[in-house]
Amino acid sequence: MRVTFALAALAAAASAIPTELRERQDGQNSKPCPKKPLVTAEKLKEDITIKKLVKGAQQLEDFAYSYPARNRIMGGKAHEDTVNWLKKELESTSYYDVTLQPFSNYVMLNGTLNTFTIGGRAINSTIFEYSNSTAGLVTAPVVVVSNLGCAASDYPAAVAGSIVLISRGSCEFGLKSALAGGAGAVAAIIYNNAPGSISATLGPPPRPEGSYVATVSLLQAEGLALVAQIQGGANVTASLDVLTDVQVITTNNVLATSKCGDKSNQLWLGAHTDSVGAGPGINDDGSGTVGILNVAKSLAKYNVKNAVSFGFWSGEESGLLGSTYFVESLSPEAALKIRAYLNFDMIASPNYVHQIYDGDGSAYGLSGPAGSADIEAFFEGYFKDLNIPSNATEFNGRSDYGPFLDANIPAGGTTTGADEIKTVAEQAIWGGVAGEILDQNYHQAADNVTNLNQDAWLLHSRGIAAAVAHYATSWEGFPVRTPVGNGTAKRSVRTEVRKGVQGAKRSIKLL
C-alpha cells in the first residue's frame, strides 16, 4: 500500500512539474530523499557553535604545525592532510557523494635568500614566487636593462652572465624574469616603482620567452640610486644565493554533493583549503573551510529540495587554481544546473568588518550575473534581522567566486576583511583599530587559532547556515539561469580588473 501510494503521488507530482519528471527520467535525481525533516534556517543556525568551529580550526592548525614548514601550502603535507580530513569528514555523514578532483600545477614550496649583497653591502629583499635558484653563490656585474624590460630588445648583449637590474612596471614580473633568462642573465633584480617592498609572484612557469632566473626585489630608492651609479660609469657587482624549491605537484579539490535534492537546481558553496607559505592560514581560509564544513555536516540531519554542493578549492593563493579548474571542467549543461555559488574567504578577521559581496554593483559599479543581487540582499537581510550593521565589498572576483562569475554563474558571500586598512568610519561602526589592516596576520605566521575573532566567525558561519537553508528549500523569485553568452560585456570588465591587479587574491601581485 505504502509503496503504491508513494508512486502514485510521485507520478502526480511529476506531471505537475515537468522539469522534475525530466530529471527523474534522466536519473539525475534518482536517489530518494531520506526521511528527515526539511531543513530550516533556525535549526541549521542553532547547530553551528563556536566550539565546533574552533575544534575544526585547531585540527587545521595541528596539521600545519606537525611539519617544519608550519603552513598548509598547496602541495605541502599539511595541505594534503587537510584535503584527506575534509573528505573523511564529509564521507562520514553518508549524506554526500564526495570526490577528489585532481589537477596539477607548479608550486614554490620553499624559498630562502641566503645571500644578497650589492657592492659588498647586504640588501634587504624578497624572493618572487616561482623564482628560480642561483647555482649556489653567484657573483656577477649588475647590468641595467633598457626601458622597463618588457621586450627582448631591452636586454643588451652584456646581460649574458650578468645580474640584470629592471624597474617594476608596465608588464608582468614573470615576463621580465623570463626575458632575463632568455638573454642569459644569471639572476634578476626588480626594483619597485613606488615606495614599499614588493611581495609578488612571477606566475607559474613556463613562459615562451625563457626560463625564469633567480628573481629578487629591491626598494625603489635603492634601485634608482644603483641605476644612477651604473649609468655614471661605475662597475657594480652583486652576489646572490637564492635557493627555491619549485615543483610540479598534483593537488585536489574536494567536491561534495548532497545525494538528495534537485540536481538541476544546485546551490554551491566554496572555501579554499590552501594557505600561503608564511603561516597556517587559519583565518585565510581555515575560517571559511571550517565554516562551510560545519554547515555541511549539520545539513546532513535534514532534508533539502535543491541539491547542495560544497567545493573545497586548492590553489586559491596561487591564482584561484582549483576553482578555475573546477569551473572550466564543467560542461555547459552542468554549469547551467548551478543556480548560485556562495564564497567564504576570511570570516574571522581579528580587526573585522561585516562585508557582503556587492552583487548588485550599487557600491562599486561591478555587478554580478542575475541572481548576485538577490544573494547580496539575502545577506543584508540576515545582518539586518540581527540589528548588526554590514556593508558592501567590491565584487571584483579576487577570490574563488571569480571563475564562477566568468562562467556567468550568480555568486555572493560574506567576508570580514583581509589587508584593507580599517577606516575611522568602519571603526565607529564595528570597533577594532582604525589605520590597521582588517586581518593584522594576513598571510603571516600569526594567522593561527589564537588570532581569530570568534564572534565574527560564528556570526558569518550562521549566515552560511541561513543561506543554505534558504536556497536549499526554494529558488522562488531567484532568476533562472540563461545560457552563457549573456552578460559577456560585464564579465570582461571584471576579469580585466582582476587580472590587471593580480593573479590571485589581493596582495599577490603579478605586475
Ligand X SMILES: *[C@@H]1O[C@H](CO)[C@@H](O)[C@H](O)[C@H]1NC(C)=O
* Residues 243-262, interacting with ligand X (CB under 6 A): 243, 246
> From Zn ion, ligand X, none, which one binds at residue 448 (CB under 5 to 8 Å depending on kind)?
ligand X
Grid cell of 274 as nine digits: 590552501
Active site residues: 316
| Structural element, H or E, at residue 254 | strand 237-258
Determine contact, residues 391/428, Cβ cutoff 8 Å: no
- Is 197 a residue that touches ligand X (CB under 6 A)? yes
Cβ proximity to ligand X, 125 vs 273, nearer residue: 125
- Is 112 a residue that touches ligand X (CB under 6 A)? yes
- Is 220 a residue that touches ligand X (CB under 6 A)? no
Residue from the set 99, 110, 193, 220 that interacts with ligand X by CB under 6 A: 110
Cβ proximity to ligand X, 202 vs 260, nearer residue: 202
Residue from the set 231, 235, 331, 387 that interacts with ligand X by CB under 6 A: 235
**Beta carbon of residue 186, minimum distance to ligand X (angstroms, whole number):** 10
The dihedral built from the CA positions of residue 73, 77, 81 and 84, taken in this order, carries a sign that is positive
- Is 221 a residue that touches ligand X (CB under 6 A)? no
* Sequence-separated (6 or more) residues with CB below 8 Å from residue 86: 254, 273, 289, 293, 312
Q: Assign 3-class secondary structure to 155-214.
A: CCHHHCCCEEEEECCCCCHHHHHHHHHHCCCCEEEEECCCCCCCCEECCCCCECCECCCE
| Structural element, H or E, at residue 100 | strand 96-118
- Is 425 a residue that touches ligand X (CB under 6 A)? yes
For residue 96, what are the β-bridge partners? 258
- Is 420 a residue that touches Zn ion (CB under 5 A)? no
393: nearest Cα among 301, 238, 505: 505
Radius of gyration of the chain (CA): 25
Cβ proximity to ligand X, 73 vs 271, nearer residue: 73
> From Zn ion, ligand X, none, which one binds at residue 284 (CB under 5 to 8 Å depending on kind)?
Zn ion
379: nearest Cα among 457, 291, 271, 459: 459
* Residues 341-360, interacting with ligand X (CB under 6 A): none
Cβ proximity to ligand X, 37 vs 485, nearer residue: 485
Residue from the set 37, 233, 477, 500 that interacts with ligand X by CB under 6 A: 233
> From Zn ion, ligand X, none, which one binds at residue 230 (CB under 5 to 8 Å depending on kind)?
none
- Is 193 a residue that touches ligand X (CB under 6 A)? no
Phi/psi of residue 372, nearest 5 degrees: -60, -35
Cβ proximity to Zn ion, 345 vs 374, nearer residue: 345
3-state DSSP assignment of residue 242: strand
Place of cell 583565518: 283
Cβ proximity to ligand X, 390 vs 399, nearer residue: 390
391: nearest Cα among 421, 438, 430: 430
Place of cell 635558484: 133
- Is 391 a residue that touches ligand X (CB under 6 A)? yes
- Is 400 a residue that touches Zn ion (CB under 5 A)? no
Cβ proximity to Zn ion, 254 vs 335, nearer residue: 254
End-to-end Cα, the chain, rounded Å: 70
For residue 258, what are the β-bridge partners? 96
Q: What stretches of 396-481 show up as alpha helix (H) in DSSP?
A: 402-406, 424-430, 454-473
* Residues 132-171, interacting with ligand X (CB under 6 A): 132
**Beta carbon of residue 59, minimum distance to ligand X (angstroms, whole number):** 13
Cβ proximity to Zn ion, 81 vs 285, nearer residue: 285
Residue from the set 262, 284, 358, 406 that interacts with Zn ion by CB under 5 A: 284
Residue from the set 94, 146, 482, 492 that interacts with ligand X by CB under 6 A: 482
> From ligand X, Zn ion, none, which one binds at residue 235 (CB under 5 to 8 Å depending on kind)?
ligand X
**Beta carbon of residue 400, minimum distance to Zn ion (angstroms, whole number):** 8
Residue from the set 69, 113, 269, 342 that interacts with ligand X by CB under 6 A: 69
Say how far apart CA 99 and CA 101 lie, in whole Å.
6
CB burial readout 224-263, b (16+ within 10 A) else e: eebeebbeeeeebebbbbbebebeebebbbbbbbbbbbbb
| Piece in contact with Zn ion (CB under 5 A), picked from 43-51, 254-262, 280-288, 446-454 | 280-288
- Is 427 a residue that touches ligand X (CB under 6 A)? no
Say how far apart CA 59 and CA 18 lie, in whole Å.
46
3-state DSSP assignment of residue 415: strand
> From ligand X, Zn ion, none, which one binds at residue 28 (CB under 5 to 8 Å depending on kind)?
none
Note the residues at the interface with ligand X (CB under 6 A): 68-69, 110, 112, 124, 130, 132, 197, 205, 211-212, 233-235, 243, 246, 363, 391-392, 423, 425-426, 429, 446, 448, 450-451, 482-483, 485-486
Note the residues at the interface with Zn ion (CB under 5 A): 284-285, 345
